[in-house]
Amino acid sequence: MVILGRVDTASPAYLALDLTGTFAFALNGSLTAIRLARLDVVGVVTLGMFTALGGGMIRDILLDALPPATFSDWRYLTVAAVGGLVAFAFGGRLERLATPIMLLDAAGLSLFAVSGAIKGLDFGVGMAQAVILGAITGVGGGTLRDVLIGEVPAVLTSGLYAIPALVGAFVVVVADAAGVGELPAALVGAVVCFAIRLIGVRFDIDAPGPPGLSSLP
């Protein structure tokens, strides 16, 4: 809901978005650990928690919302840990993990992009700043995940990773300025972000590179 021009981040709808994104990214990070890094239970759960909580922590630090929600609300740590344990328990039974990893990554990206933008609006930042915060929240956890397993972060190699997060956050910010309710705006923004990310993966679409780069040896 919007209260006196500000989005209420204490609302159940916002909390549900944030915790759902946390769970999705925890599963994603843990499945990545199982598929690519071959880690033990501690490594699997730890990578899942870093993936789930990293973007939100960066967002809260930038907003000076200290301590970050991760440490002030036990539900975040609990949901992230449960997601990691679920992935550890059942992820090894999946013969092909690439598809669920990609879908969970897109889901976490979408949910965090909109929740990050909503929290930025709640703290009274400008529209552009709220969009940037949404994107940072969306890509932060995945970036930490990739760094920890020695991969080039997806945000630097996939043109349609940061862009969907920016678009999803932009939808939320514009909807807020138009007086649209929090939940409809968040759902539309998340769906748009998710769809763009999947289209990019499905058709291998990237943002344009530097002119003439492909011709270099």
pLDDT at 198: 93
Query: Does pTM top 0.95 for this prediction?
Result: no
What CA–CA distance (Å, rounded) separates 189 from 4? Answer: 22
> Which of 142-146, 155-159, 210-214 is most confident?
142-146
State how far the Cα of 92 lies from the Cα of 127, in Å rounded to an integer.
Answer: 43
Least confident of 45-54, 67-76, 153-162, 186-195: 153-162
More confidently predicted of 95 and 59 = 59
pLDDT class for 203, splitting at 50, 70, 90? confident
Q: Can you tell me the distance from the alpha carbon of 69 to that of 75, in angstroms, rounded to the nearest whole number?
A: 9
Mean pLDDT across the stretch 40-56? Answer: 93
Summarize pLDDT for 77-88 with one digit per residue, the tens.
999 999 999 999
Q: Is the dihedral of CA 154, 155, 156, 157 positive or negative?
A: positive
Q: What is the pLDDT of residue 182?
A: 77
Q: pLDDT value at position 205?
A: 76
Looking at the predicted structure, is the pLDDT value of residue 104 above 80? Answer: yes
| pLDDT value at 160 more than 90 | no
User: pLDDT value at position 15?
Assistant: 85
12 vs 134, more confident: 134
Average pLDDT of the segment spanning 114-128: 93
Q: pLDDT at position 214, please?
A: 53
The pLDDT, as a whole number, for residue 170 is 97
What's the half-sphere exposure (Cβ side, CA atoms, 13 Å) at 40? Answer: 1
Tell me the C-alpha distance between 26 and 89, whole Å.
13
Supply the pLDDT for residue 5.
41
Burial class of residue 153 in the structure, from the number of CB atoms within 10 Å of its CB (0-12 exposed, 13-18 middle, 19+ buried): middle
pLDDT of 143 > 60? The answer is: yes
